[in-house]
Chains A and B, each alone.
Chain A
Amino acid sequence: MSSLKLNFTVPGDDFTRAGEASGSVKKTLKDLGFNPEIVRKVVIALYEAEINLVIHAGGGEIEVEISPECISMVLTDQGPGIPDVDLAMKEGYSTAPDNVRSLGFGAGMGLPNIKKYTDEMKIDSTVGVGTTMYLKVLTN
């Protein structure tokens, strides 16, 4: 079965452009005729993750692989890393600065949201090196 790969570079510290990659993936999935509920799950998770790249990591790379069975996303950054992933997964826990809160994010809902909307989520993070997040949404 064929699959489609999309790659995006997310610039750091540019909130006006945060969401461009997710919007583009949304359009592609819609054009390919995926179920709207699947599209919604993918884009919410990806958008939160994209915002995280901008807020916490100074940008990064997104790779999306679309196949009829699942949508896989890998987000890679060379940011500060996450010292305690379990703590970061807790609702309400946030290390985002105040200027991020003024944009409507930084409430500590990002990672829990991503988990809620994906079927598989894995985070590999090393402090001082960076973080890679693997996400998967199954189509049925």
Chain B
Amino acid sequence: MKVYEIKEILNATVICGEEFLDREVFTACGSDMMSDVLAYVKEQAVLLSGLVNPQVVRTAEMMDMQCIVFVRGKNPDDSIINLARDRDIVLLSTDEGMFSACGKLYEKGLRGGASV
């Protein structure tokens, strides 16, 4: 799945990283707990989160993630956006809740893959 497809499926707005929307991604994870992302996630390229703070971008950076989707209509402030921009990470925002957003992406072929 391409990042722009995620944008379309979730009717999301692009906060930054417009130039990277044709990136191909295969797996995603949804979590508000960054420690869990660090503990269990492997090779996932997309992070869906309702948490909005710089550590979400830092966590994505450490995990080589390509794209963060903020759910529940959350919008990051400029410091978070600049952090993502410096790291070539795409930021999207959708009004969908976490469950619905994950479900819609799964239905269209995006998979999890996190294992304990």
Interface residues of chain A, those whose CB is within 8 Å of chain B, are 15-16, 18-19, 22-23, 26, 36, 40, 43-44, 47-48, 51, 103-107, 109-110, 112-113, 116
A105 surroundings in chain B (CB, below 8 A): 34-35, 55
Of B39, B49, B62, B64, chain A has the most CB atoms within 10 Å of the CB of B62
Kindly supply a per-residue 1/0 record for chain B positions 46-88, scoring 1 wherever the CB is within 8 Å of any chain A CB and 0 otherwise: 0001010111101101111000000000000001000000010
A–B Cβ pairs within 8 angstroms, 13 of them: A15-B54, A19-B54, A23-B61, A44-B38, A44-B63, A104-B32, A104-B35, A104-B49, A105-B35, A105-B55, A107-B35, A109-B35, A112-B39
A113 surroundings in chain B (CB, below 8 A): 35, 38-39
In the complex, the answer to whether A26 meets B54 with C-beta atoms within 8 Å is no
Indicate if B9 sits at the interface (CB-CB under 8 A).
Answer: no
Number of inter-chain CB pairs below 8 Å: 66
Summarize B's interface: helix, strand, loop or mixed: helix
A22 surroundings in chain B (CB, below 8 A): 58, 62
Given the known inter-chain contacts A16-B79, A104-B53, please indicate yes or no for A23 contacting B58, CB distance below 8 A. yes
B54 surroundings in chain A (CB, below 8 A): 15-16, 19
In the complex, the answer to whether B79 meets A47 with C-beta atoms within 8 Å is no
Given the known inter-chain contacts A109-B35, A109-B38, A113-B35, please indicate yes or no for A103 contacting B64, CB distance below 8 A. no
Kindly supply a per-residue 1/0 record for chain B positions 28-41, scoring 1 wherever the CB is within 8 Å of any chain A CB and 0 otherwise: 00001111101100
Query: A23's closest neighbor in chain B, by CB?
Result: B61
